[in-house]
Amino acid sequence: MQTIGHLSVLIHEQAKKYGAKPAITFRNFGSLEWKTVSWNQFSMRVKQVSNALLNLGLKPQETIAVFSQNTIYHLYTEFGAYGVRVISIPFYATSSEEQIQYMIQDAGVKFLFVGEQEQYDKARRVVSLCPSLERIIVFDSSVRLSTHDPNSIYFEDFLKLGEGFPRESEVEDRWAEANNDDICNILYTSGTTGESKGVVLTYKMYHAAMEGNMKSVPVNSKDRIINFLPFSHIFERGWAYLGLSVGAELIVNTYPKEIQQSMRETHPTSMAAVPRFWEKVYVAVKDRMDNSSIVQRKLFYHALSIGRKRNIQYIARCKRVPLTLEMEYKFVNKTVLGLVRKQLGLENPHIFPTAGAYVSPEVEEFVHSIGLNMLVGYGLTESLATVSCDYLGQPYTVGSVGRPIEGIDIKISDEGEIMLKGPTITPGYFRHDTANSEAFDKDGYFHTGDAGYLKGGELFLKERIKDLFKTSNGKYIAPQMVEAMLLVDKFIEQVSVIADQRKFVAALIVPEFSALEEWAKENHIEFKDREELCENKRVNEMMRERIETLQQRLASYEKIKRFTLLPHHFSMESGELTNTLKLKRSVVNSRYHDAIEKMYEE
């Protein structure tokens, strides 16, 4: 049963209901040991944080920020802040000094909670430039504090300010004063197309989102949900809070690169992910099978075909599965497909919401075929995550982004843009009046910037309107769709399609170097470094053949005609990727200007 209440008291209400039941499984910084806290312990820590914040003088609707990777202390801090009507602003753990300085100044942040040494060092370097910032509070007790830093304390010492709940009567007064119009969070957008803006999220939006999502995503108190995306990402934040509202157990994965190992160790039932995660799973499983014995390969692809037939042709359409097919599926599901899921740590899978980018139909079919309920959806920070998603138990179409959740009103403009209105839509951007006037039309519908259409009750995306490329021949190209087609190849790690105002489509491609280097050695290709490997004629011929095969379904004008292999990854550090790993195309195009121009030489 879902508990729908104000986030200021949610954890305490759940503690009354679930008591000693595990609430969070986690690892401390640098530790390999998984630990668990109960709902009662969770509630106690949250109360300590609320009391400590009052002891430090925070007033209602003042701001704190959390600059850390996922950790149990992140959850304690935020729910403690909600308990005293304090606004919490999550920063990505990978944010630069310039980014955190901007956000602290823009929102007038008073206390900054940081994770590890890297975040602390960045915070220390900007503190003198941020007059509102009074104190840095450090989660990881192994962080070395500067000897010239009287205003930073460790989280364990911060908690002592709330021991014994010295301000509990005032905390309870704040609970009574809490209302749905208060600002809960400010989430700063990635800034792919310009200056980052703070999206205002109210308690009213969370209340509506939890009610609406519960009717489409049946997570429950038996679920064990592992966190893969950062809590600063609206998708993970909304999903985690939905799980907490039904008493599910959260498994906090602190280091994203360890997610697959963490899954094998903790055996979650559910997880929210972006398509790139499933693309990598698809590539890894397919590669393992293609390199196995002929018998194993035949068994796997036979099992996969049965899974596809049963789960895509019948279950996806809510059709009754023929008895013979169901019997066949039960057998391959217990044996072959069950082994695939076991290798992922998903022995008891429930639901797997997926959003954030274009989902390749090939990957979506594969995930369903191995017996995982991928619920593809669409949403924005400005809509508090979900706008639409697949409903478990209702028909869905591979390639759609599901049906609108309850409360969302979708309008398609004359230009094909998806427009939104409803209780989960932001009231606006923090202190950005001009941006707010541009974001909403005269009827109050929010401009998403995404093109799409409704068909049979389902929403289909075309492309971000700003991302649509127009060739010099007048043809429109959807770069993300082309990129997603290539990313299912085991030799390709990153792609940036080039087409805007060009006579044909080209691409910058970063290979998956471990696979490519192994292939080169097997084919007796000598190279002294990655630059030489990327320039090798045989390597480029092999990649061209694979790219041509992957593009067979595209129209001629959409196909990549020329490409350049890059010896270095696109990265956040170099400014080519946002914190959500989206390409900053203008930066990439500028940085690789010469390589791009060379592809278009006659």
- Residue 434 clears pLDDT 70, i.e. is over it: yes
pLDDT at 94 over 90: no
Residues 134 and 24 in one domain: yes
Q: Are 247 and 310 contained in the same domain? A: no
pLDDT of 210 > 90? The answer is: yes
Q: CA–CA separation, 195 vs 190, rounded Å?
A: 9
Query: Where does 141-274 have alpha helices with state H?
Result: 155-160, 168-177, 203-214, 234-245, 259-266
Indicate whether 370 belongs to any domain. Answer: yes
Last residue of one domain, picked from the residues 271, 286, 317? 271
Question: What pLDDT score does 85 carry?
Answer: 98
What is the average per-residue pLDDT within 341-359? Answer: 93
Judge if 306 and 384 occupy the same domain.
Answer: yes
Reported as a pLDDT band with limits 50, 70 and 90, residue 464 is: low
318 and 185 inside one domain = no
Entry field: residues in the chain: 602
Mark which of 237, 271, 305 sits at the end of a domain. Answer: 271
Band of residue 466 on the pLDDT scale cut at 50, 70, 90: low
pLDDT surpasses 80 at 319: yes
Mean pLDDT of 101-130: 96
Inter-helix orientation angle 234-245/10-18, to 10°? 40
Are 210 and 296 within one domain?
Answer: no
H helix intervals, 19-96: 39-55, 72-82
pLDDT for the residue numbered 406: 93
- CA angle centred on 339, ends 336 and 340, rounded to 5°: 90
468 pLDDT higher than 70: no
**What's the pLDDT at 480?**
83
Burial label, 202 (beta-carbon count in 10 A; 0-12, 13-18, 19+): buried
| pLDDT at 203 exceeding the cut of 90 | yes
**For residue 161, pLDDT beyond 60:** yes
Mean pLDDT in residue range 445-473: 84
Task: Looking at the structure, tell me whether residues 266 and 279 fall in a common domain.
Answer: no
Q: Is the pLDDT of residue 485 over 70?
A: yes
Cα angle vertex 18, ends 12, 24, to 5°? 80
CB atoms within 10 A of CB 222: 12
Average pLDDT in the 252-274 region? 95
- CA-CA distance, 204 to 25, in Å (whole number)? 29
Q: Is the same domain home to 454 and 495?
A: no
Query: What pLDDT, in 10s, does the model give residues 10-43?
Result: 999 999 999 999 999 999 998 999 999 999 999 9
* Whole-number Å distance between alpha carbons of 393 and 425: 27
Burial 462-498 (b: 16+ CB within 10 A, else e): bbbbebbbebeeeeebbbbbbbbbbbbbbbbbbbbbb
Whether 375 maps to a domain, the answer reads: yes
pLDDT at 572: 85
Mean pLDDT of the chain: 93
Judge whether residue 129 has pLDDT over 80.
yes
Name the pLDDT band for 449 (thresholds 50, 70, 90).
confident
- Domain with residue 60: its CATH number is 3.40.50.980
Q: Are 225 and 200 in contact (CB under 8 A)?
A: no
pLDDT tier at 465 (50, 70, 90 boundaries)? low
In a domain, 224, yes or no: yes
User: What is the per-residue pLDDT for 554?
Assistant: 83
* Domain CATH code at residue 478: 3.30.300.30
Q: Per-residue pLDDT for 194 more than 60?
A: no
Q: 467 falls in which pLDDT band (50, 70, 90)?
A: low
Residue 221: per-residue pLDDT = 97
Same domain for 453 and 473, yes or no, is no
Q: What is the pLDDT of residues 574-593, one digit of tens each?
A: 889 888 778 888 899 999 99
HSE of 10, CA atoms in CB hemisphere, 13 A: 28
Give Dmax (Cα) for the chain: 77
Listed as own residue / partner, the contacts of 581-586 with beta carbons closer than 8 Å and 24 or more positions apart are 581/274, 581/276, 582/190, 582/192, 582/357, 583/192, 583/496, 584/192, 585/192, 585/467, 585/479, 585/496
pLDDT at 265: 97
* pLDDT above 80 (res 473): no
The reply to whether 440 falls in a domain is no
Place 158 in a pLDDT band, splitting at 50, 70 and 90. very high
Q: Which CATH number does the domain housing residue 331 bear?
A: 2.30.38.10
Examine the fold and report which residue of 271, 299, 320 is the final residue of a domain before the chain moves on. Answer: 271
Q: Is the pLDDT of residue 463 over 90?
A: no
Domain that residue 353 falls in: 275-428+445-465
Q: Check whether residue 371 and residue 496 sit in a common domain.
A: no
> d(Cα 268, Cα 350) in Å, to the nearest integer?
9
Banded pLDDT at 190 (limits 50, 70, 90): low
Amino acid symbol at 163: E
Contacting residues for 510 by C-beta, under 8 A, at least 6 apart: 492, 493, 494, 495, 565, 566, 568, 569, 570
Pair (370, 503) in one structural domain: no
pLDDT at 195: 67
CA distance 559 to 581: 24
Residue with tokens 């895509």: 312
CA–CA separation, 182 and 277 (whole Å):
35
Q: How confident is the model at residue 366 (pLDDT cuts 50, 70, 90)?
A: very high
Instruction: Return d(Cα 375, Cα 272) in angstroms, integer.
Output: 9
Q: Structurally, how many domains does the chain consist of?
A: 3
Q: What is the pLDDT of residue 579?
A: 80
3-state secondary structure 461-476: EEEEHHHCEECCCCCE
pLDDT at 180: 96
CB-facing half-sphere around the CA of 126: CA atoms within 13 A: 22
CB 344 within 8 A of CB 273: no
Mean pLDDT across 154-162: 97
- For residue 435, is it within any domain? no
Q: What is the mean pLDDT of residues 399-423?
A: 94
Helices within 387-488 (DSSP H only): 433-439, 479-486
pLDDT of 348 strictly over 60: yes
Starting at the edge strand that comes first in sequence, how are the strands of the sheet with 446-455 ordered?
409-412, 417-421, 446-455, 458-464
Residue 520, domain member (yes or no): yes
- Report if residue 362 sits inside a domain: yes
Strand pairing report for 224-227 and 249-252: parallel
Cα–Cα dist 442/595, whole Å: 45
One domain for residues 460 and 487: no
Structure tokens at 93: 């753990």
Tell me whether residue 438 is in a domain.
no
Pairing type for strands 476-477 and 469-470 reads antiparallel
The pTM of this model reads 0.87
C-beta separation of 158 from 134 below 8 A: no
For residues 525 and 521, what is the distance between their CA atoms, to the nearest angstrom?
Answer: 6
Q: Which residue has the tokens 């200021």?
A: 8
Could you tell me if 362 and 264 lie in one domain?
no
